[in-house]
């Protein structure tokens, strides 16, 4: 499979770390580095299978996690007078700094959206805002790692290919893109799991997944959740929904 998906719209290596911390409700100041490293590498392996572009930064972070893990396994040096610094300290500092930047960017995005709701003439702004809110449904935006989690679960339930097939059926991303758009013409939204369940084998699951990424890149659909780590839904990109960012991680790992 040579089809590549660019990752500019999605998140980077620090986002994957924050995602794993949220998912497992981990204390950011006491990261179980062995557990997180194992999960991190599992996500990277699947991204490599999907031939996703921009994976180099994730590999660098994986190497950093392995280095921290190896340092934590070393016994303390008895010749050291002062206690050694926790090998995770620098990683925690980077995560905190990155999270502050994300929060600031989200605040600017929210302010920009609020300015779009201002009207140049004296109108009943509260009444108009109320009507707009009633016409919209609030969702949280799912990220790449939510999608990969759903893909992993779907692939676990699918065979490599159906044994009764005489000739293996081929699937293309372009065909899946058109098929998904056709389904979304007939209905306003659909669960990602429905698409995976209708696939015959793992190859079709992967092609369907890449078609969803392509639709996101084309801004034709948004992938959303009604709450953190809930089922992922595909919705046509329109003004009839409000998409919010998921809550950030508190220092103790809570959201």
Q: How far is CA 122 from CA 119, 125, 126, 134, in A?
A: 7, 8, 11, 22
Who contacts 235 (Cβ-Cβ below 8 Å, separation ≥6)? 139, 184, 188, 189, 221, 222, 223, 224, 241
Residue 243 near residue 222 (C-beta atoms within 8 A)? yes
More confidently predicted of 62 and 106: 62
22-40 tens-digit pLDDT: 888 899 889 999 999 999 9
More confidently predicted of 72 and 51: 72
115-127 tens-digit pLDDT: 765 554 444 445 4
130-175 tens-digit pLDDT: 544 544 555 667 777 888 888 888 887 766 554 444 444 577 889 9
User: Is the predicted pLDDT of residue 68 greater than 80, yes or no?
Assistant: yes
Who contacts 245 (Cβ-Cβ below 8 Å, separation ≥6)? 106, 140, 141
Q: Determine which of 22-31, 44-53, 199-208 has the lowest per-residue pLDDT on average.
A: 44-53
Closest CA to 72 of 111, 31, 113, 43: 31
176-200 tens-digit pLDDT: 999 999 998 888 888 899 998 888 8
pLDDT at 204: 87
pTM of the model: 0.62
What is residue 52's three-state secondary structure? coil
For residue 242, name the pLDDT band (cuts at 50, 70, 90). Answer: low
Taking the mean position of all CA atoms in its chain, how far away is CA 81? 44
Q: How far is CA 12 from CA 18, 19, 53, in A?
A: 10, 11, 12
More confidently predicted of 209 and 161: 209
Number of Cα atoms under 13 Å in the Cβ half of residue 115 = 6
pLDDT at 243: 55
d(CA 5, CA 7): 6
> Tokens standing for 43?
């996500």
């Amino acid at each position: 499979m040579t089809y590549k998906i660019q990752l500019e719209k999605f998140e980077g290596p620090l986002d994957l770390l924050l995602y794993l911390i949220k998912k497992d409700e981990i204390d950011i100041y006491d990261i179980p580095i062995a557990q997180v490293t194992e999960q991190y590498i599992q996500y990277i392996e699947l991204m490599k299978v999907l031939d996703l572009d921009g994976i180099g930064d994730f590999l660098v972070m994986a190497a950093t996690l392995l280095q921290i893990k190896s340092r934590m396994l070393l016994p303390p040096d008895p010749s050291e007078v002062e206690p050694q610094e926790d090998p995770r300290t620098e990683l925690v500092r980077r995560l905190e700094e990155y999270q502050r930047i994300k929060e600031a960017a989200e605040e600017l995005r929210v302010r920009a959206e609020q300015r779009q709701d201002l009207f140049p003439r004296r109108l009943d702004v509260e009444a108009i805002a109320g009507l707009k809110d009633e016409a919209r449904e609030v969702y949280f935006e799912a990220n790449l790692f939510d999608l990969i989690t759903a893909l992993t679960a779907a692939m676990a339930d699918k065979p490599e290919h159906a044994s009764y097939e005489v000739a293996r059926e081929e699937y293309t991303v372009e065909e899946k893109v058109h098929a998904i758009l056709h389904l979304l013409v007939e209905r306003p939204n659909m669960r990602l799991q429905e698409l995976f369940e209708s696939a015959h084998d793992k190859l079709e699951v992967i092609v369907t997944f890449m078609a969803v990424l392509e639709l996101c890149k084309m801004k034709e659909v948004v992938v959303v959740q009604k709450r953190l780590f809930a089922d992922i839904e595909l919705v046509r990109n329109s003004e009839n929904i409000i998409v919010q960012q998921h809550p950030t991680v508190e220092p103790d790992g809570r959201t």
